[in-house]
Amino acid sequence: MNWIILIIAGLFEVGFTTCLKLSNNFTNLKWSVAFAACIMLSFYFLNKATQTLPMGTAYAVWTGIGAVGTVIVGIVYFQEPANFWRIFFIVTLIGSILGLKFFAGSH
């Protein structure tokens, strides 16, 4: 369940980065409020997840989900480049996130 909570936290991170872009330097009230809501929810769920998951692993996975999700949003909705190297490194980041999840408790 805590991994699901962590994934939710990461998705809200994608939400707050997207809202940050759409807020137009906090001049658009609707997106600025959405940014504030997403960032608060993201940190709330991250805090919940770190109560049982290793802090370093949870933080790395949270930022990884945020980074991958934000790049995907940028490519799909903001027409950012999707060249080979960008996709290659996003895939390696996903592999790293999965590795942290599967080996979080290993010694």
Tens digits of per-residue pLDDT, 27-58? Answer: 999 999 999 999 999 999 999 999 999 998 99
Name the residue among 90, 86, 35, 84 with its Cα closest to residue 65. 90
Count of other CB atoms within 10 angstroms of residue 51:
10
Task: Give the pair of three-digit tokens for residue 74.
Answer: 């940028």
d(CA 2, CA 50): 8
Per-residue pLDDT at 103 exceeds 90:
no
Task: Kindly give the interhelix angle for 55-77 and 29-49, rounded to the nearest 10 degrees.
Answer: 150
pTM reported for the whole predicted model: 0.88
Mean pLDDT in residue range 12-23: 98
Confidence of residue 107 (pLDDT cuts 50, 70, 90): very low
Report whether pLDDT(104) > 90.
Answer: no
